[in-house]
Amino acid sequence: MNDLDSHIRIHHLLIVFYLCLLTMPLMGQDYITNYSAEYSAQENGIVIAWETGNEDGVKQFQVERSVNNSSFDVVDDGVVLAKGEPSYYEIIDTSDMFQKPDGGSFLSGRVYTYRIRIVFTDKTSSITENIQVSPKISSTHHTWGTIKAMFK
């Protein structure tokens, strides 16, 4: 092996080393370690909760909902600023889109898809996997909601 070959080999090793250094912060980052979305009769909405393991470089979280599993919108109060350390977050989606004019609920029988967009300080973002929620509202809860609406 001549000097030129060893110089090229060292150059390639340095490039690999620097690439590893640059991508190391992205590897093994558990930004969201636990994530759930489920219907709560008590809250009359969908409770979206998540825990973070690492918030380095995270600016905020945006909770997004879809009714057709293709176009997503940020839910009301769905933008949450990162605390900067491993934390627990929870929001309750009680959108007006869930309510009928008579006080009943559109929740039952529909499938809602949720995801969380992680927005970083460098303006890039990452999206969690989708979670689908299909609320099953009891007839007692539904009837009670209708009775309450009659007396508003």
Using the predicted structure, report yes or no on whether residue 64 has a pLDDT greater than 90: yes
- In whole angstroms, how far apart are CA 29 and each of 32, 56, 138? 9, 9, 40
Task: Indicate whether this model's pTM tops 0.95.
Answer: no
Give dist(CA 53, CA 41) in Å, integer: 29
pLDDT tens digits, one per residue of 23-54: 334 433 579 999 999 988 888 789 999 999 98
Q: How far apart are the first and last CA of the chain?
A: 88
Distance CA 20, CA 25 (A): 9
pLDDT tens, 65-77?
998 888 999 998 8
- Per-residue confidence (pLDDT) for residue 28, from 0 to 100: 37
Choice between 70 and 4, residue whose per-residue pLDDT is larger: 70
